[in-house]
Amino acid sequence: MRFIITLSYDGAAFCGWQVQPGDPSVQECLEKALSTLLRQPVSVTGAGRTDSGVNAIGYVAHFDIVDVGSCDPALLAYKLNAILPPSVVVHSIVRADGDFHARFDASQRKYTYFLHRLKDPFVERYSLRRDWDLDFGAMNRAAALLLGRHDFACFQKTGTDVKTSVCTVTEAFWAPYEPAHVSLMGFAPAAPDPAGAAGVAGAAEAAEVAEAAEAAGAAGTAGRLREAGTCPGGECFPQTPGSSGFAPVETQGLPGTGTNVFVPAGLDAKGWRYAYFRISADRFLRNMVRAVVGTLLEVGRGKRSLESFAALILPVAPAPAADGTEKANSVRSEAASAVDSTKRAESVRSEAVSTVDSTEMADSVRSEAISAVDSTKRAVSVRSEAVSVLGGRGGGAMRSQAGDSVPGHALFLSKVEYPTETAALPAEDAHHLKH
């Protein structure tokens, strides 16, 4: 008999979900507890890996019991919570169809990364503190480039053994939020740098911020908190285009985007306090979310251009090739095309000189020359990638082009979604679903 178990865990004490020899994992912890209670060996299959230190809410796994006997799923969940450590909690256990698979049946996975600016002892454990001016408009423009089906090899951990690095991202954005201790109890921000490094200059402005926080805690309404992206319980509400918390931002000239990216109000570069990044996809690569966040922070600090970020999101090859040969051939072809453009640039320059007396013709030729020179630069980049691919799979070289990964303590696997016909099954006769 197959069962679905839904749980949440604090990842601080674990090396991740998957069993690792010599290191504590959530999977091992759960398997030991189930085997103890059921008095038989139990193997648990999860919805996917989480990195060391990463947290999960509503994580889904399945396990099989050979000798079901009088097993009561509700009682089993209760007993599990009694023997599992405080860092792991079981929400439910339900019977499932024998064909259900927690990993392969999952259609979407959602991650959330938390960020705060000023010292706050109540969020330090689950949020990354960075006292930086951040251009969230640029960060959301860059995040919009992630949407769609792309090759994310540049963002995966070096040495990862996977058949494909292609993922389909359906959601990626930054938004503000306000923790419950701020919205309900009026927690004031830490004293800012008098020199203005924290974006608040002078004691008078700091007092205004504290007063505003206190007022929000005393008189805030659920409606206003929802507009800010939060509710009194601390849950983040994703804001949608057209809501009062969003302002449209044009993204002209950037590949892979629509006409607008909606950037939440309340995330100005100097005045922001709490923010989160939300990303959803059909699958994720090892270390992918942490690398994406780290690279987006570079964009927000002005250390990386949108064009540089876009270059890390690779097009999907026509057909997968395990040894990289087809990709190498494709890169060679592109390199050859770019080299041809280089020759064309030289020809165009000569033509520009010969037609200098004809103003209109010269302007046209100069424009084409500039375009060809850009192609020359692309040729250099493509040649470099070709060398990387021909020298191996090129994962290490590509990963080094992205930003540094952020710490895992502020990252949550916040939702795993399944198609309706294979979702977690609450009904007692769930095993009859497909029969």
Q: What is the DSSP string of 219-247?
A: H--HHHHHHHTB-TT--B----TTSTTEE
146-171: pLDDT as tens digits: 999 999 999 998 766 688 999 999 99
295-348: pLDDT as tens digits: 999 999 999 999 999 999 999 987 655 455 555 555 555 555 554 555 555 554
Dihedral (CA of 284, 288, 289, 295) sign: negative
Does 2-106+418-432 match 109-177+236-317+402-411 in CATH topology?
yes
pTM over 0.85: no
CATH architecture of 2-106+418-432: 2-Layer Sandwich (3.30)
Question: Counting beta carbons within 10 angstroms of the beta carbon of residue 68, is it exposed (0 to 12), middle (13 to 18) or buried (19 or more)?
Answer: exposed
At residue 206's C-alpha, the angle toward residues 136 and 277, to 5°, is 25
Given the residues 10, 51, 120, 151, select the one marked as catalytic: 51
**How many CA atoms lie less than 13 Å away from 43 in the CB half-sphere?**
2
Highest mean pLDDT among 165-169, 210-214, 371-375: 165-169
Task: Specify the fold of 109-177+236-317+402-411.
Answer: Alpha-Beta Plaits (3.30.70)
- Whether the per-residue pLDDT at 173 is higher than 80: the answer is yes
At residue 137's C-alpha, the angle toward residues 233 and 181, to 5°, is 20
Distance CA 405, CA 283 (A): 18
**The pLDDT of residue 71:** 81
- Count the Cβ atoms, other than its own, within 10 Å of residue 183: 23
Strand runs (DSSP E) across 65-104, as ranges? 88-96
**The pLDDT of residue 246:** 41
Question: Counting beta carbons within 10 angstroms of the beta carbon of residue 309, is it exposed (0 to 12), middle (13 to 18) or buried (19 or more)?
Answer: buried
3 DSSP β-pair partners: 63, 95
Distance CA 334, CA 381 (A): 10
Contact 150, 181 (CB under 8 A): no
326-337: pLDDT as tens digits: 555 555 555 555
**The pLDDT of residue 183:** 87
Start-to-end CA distance of the chain, whole Å, equals 15
**The pLDDT of residue 348:** 47
Q: Can you tell me the mean pLDDT for 185-197?
A: 76
43-97: pLDDT as tens digits: 999 999 999 999 999 999 999 998 777 689 999 999 999 999 999 999 999 999 8
- Whether the per-residue pLDDT at 388 is higher than 70: the answer is no
CA distances to 69, 113, 243, 270, 273 from 183, in Å: 49, 20, 20, 21, 13
Please, which pLDDT band fits residue 232 given cuts at 50, 70 and 90? very low
The domain locations on the chain are 2-106+418-432, 109-177+236-317+402-411, 325-392
The token pair that represents 312 in the structure block: 């890390």
Residue 221 C-alpha from the chain's centroid: 30
Please, which pLDDT band fits residue 360 given cuts at 50, 70 and 90? low
Mean pLDDT of the chain: 75
At residue 207's C-alpha, the angle toward residues 201 and 209, to 5°, is 80
- Whether the per-residue pLDDT at 138 is higher than 70: the answer is yes
51 assigned to active site: yes
Amino acid at 46: G
Please, which pLDDT band fits residue 363 given cuts at 50, 70 and 90? low
